[in-house]
Structure 1
Amino acid sequence: MFDKKSDLFISSADKIFYRVLGILHRADQGNSLEEILSKIGLTASKLPPQGCIEFRKRWTHAGFEERLNGLGFKS
């Protein structure tokens, strides 16, 4: 996944996963369950919050903010 040429997409219900994607500037490689279901033509009613687009966006952005603030990497 960390190969710069990778076109791998991953979904998770863990916020740390999306934070790491944000820190690594790889937000485009994460998908929520809601997005995956939408791509195959299914609707996502009654998903837990961890499966929703907003969850992915919130925690990916949090990771990106951590990167901007110099957090997430050891010197």
Structure 2
Amino acid sequence: MSAAYVEHRPISSSKDTLTDHHVVIVNGASVGGEFSTQLAAKNYACKEGYHPVHVARERHLQNRDIPDHWRKDPC
């Protein structure tokens, strides 16, 4: 299956913007709805069989092209 990325929302460049929820991104689209925690989103992605699952470090800028932005979850 495709790789999954767990990201926080809303996306903002402001450090004052708080995380409202998390999403699972697969092939550029959000799947599975909104999750209140990274753990819930990660568990959903693992349960659905996505591999690998990359969890974003809680930062404000999202960039899937920068490897150190992500930590790979072992599921």
Q: Which structure's residues are more often strand, by fraction?
A: 2
| Structure index of larger Rg | 1
